[in-house]
Amino acid sequence: GKTSLLDHIRKAQVASGEAGGITQHIGAYRVHTDHGEICFIDTPGHAAFTAMRARGADCTDIVILVVAADDGVMPQTVEAINHARAAGAPLIIAINKIDRPDAKADRVRQELLQHEIVTEEMGGDILSVEVSAIQKTNLDKLEEAIILQSEILELAANPDRDADGVVLESRVDRGRGVVCTCLVQRGTLHVGDIVVAGSNWGRVRAMTDERAQNRVEAVPSTPVEVLGFNGPPSAGDEFVVVDSERRAREITEFRSMRSRDDASARSAALVNVDQMFLQAGEDGLQRLPMVIKGDVHGSVEAIVGSFEKLTEDNEEVRVQVLHSGVGGITESDITLANA
């Protein structure tokens, strides 16, 4: 119910466009409320997307945990609680679907007690709001709770400095090249700035907001899609504005050299098919080498994670991911698979 809640807060239709009603990419939205502006990052709740959500918690100030009043606390809920705790982010509990006849909000609060989450109704200090996305019940109260929490935390950022922030997602678009969803956390990002993220850099050619409107600048806590990177950075990389192209090249060359060293250390363990069967005789394990490509970095990561989990407990077969990347399947991928 996370995306449906957001849809009604920002009065748009996203959930209906998601495959199987499951959010697969991190979406970020700015919402204008009567109390001020809030930037929401909508993370996938599905178990396979743990890694993405773990990163999602790191770039947020407040985590809103959505629990369905009829389902109660599910395994993913516990996982989300752990991520929020690891990121040290304060929680607000949104108890959703209270319009359902079998909704029991108090049962949810009691189940949360087992995970050391004590809501105000239970004598603790964690805010909880009973909401319904379909009936639009108490959505304004949820916004008030967020603003209140941000005032207590004294959240502020300096807009008059060079921008830095986090890459939420990156993909390669056929017509536009590398498209990066970035969240500006400090400073103001302008078109024409030179930006470094991970081992990639670029000059900001254009920026668009979540409504696909062009922007010339992005102030703190604004999510924007940035064009102009030379390659797709990893989701979760931090981006910074640097003063010159030379500096950008130095940083990225050093970083890509370091990641090449890491990769070569890993690939030293790779084997060909004949050796694979010989080795299978030794430790009884057959390794299935794979090349994985996907449209965005987060999905690739989720797929790799799922494969590794599938074969963790298997005594006979292991999946070995030789290479994973973002974009279309290229000739070099085929050559690698062939080899």
State pLDDT tens for residues 139-175.
888 888 898 888 888 888 888 999 999 888 888 888 8
Closest CA to 86 of 119, 57, 47: 57
- Residue written as token pair 């690739």: 300
The predicted pLDDT at position 73 comes to: 85
Q: What is the mean pLDDT of residues 263-287?
A: 64
Who wins on pLDDT, 298 or 193? Answer: 193
Q: Rounded to the nearest 5 degrees, what angle is found at the Cα of 68, between the Cα atoms of 138 and 309?
A: 140
Residue 17 phi/psi, 5-degree rounding, is -90, -5
What single DSSP character describes residue 124?
A: S
Work out the pLDDT band at 250, boundaries 50, 70, 90. Answer: very high
| Predicted local confidence at residue 227, as pLDDT | 92
**What confidence score (pLDDT) does residue 6 get?**
83
Q: Please list the residues that pair with 227 across neighbouring strands.
A: 179, 206
Q: Which helix (DSSP H) or strand (DSSP E) does residue 291 occupy? A: strand 286-294
| Per-residue confidence (pLDDT) for residue 267, from 0 to 100 | 65
Instruction: Report the C-alpha gap between 114 and 135 in whole angstroms.
Output: 30
Check pLDDT > 80 for residue 114.
Answer: yes
For the chain, the average pLDDT equals 81
Report whether 139 contacts 7 (CB < 8 A): no
Distances (CA, A) of 279 to 34, 42, 282, 332: 65, 44, 5, 27
Residue 129: name the closest of 81, 93, 91 by CA.
93
Residue 183, pLDDT above cutoff 70: yes
At 238 the pLDDT is 87
Q: Average of pLDDT values for 126-143?
A: 86
d(CA 235, CA 233): 6
User: Quick one: pLDDT band at residue 75, thresholds 50, 70, 90?
Assistant: confident
The predicted model scores a pTM of 0.70
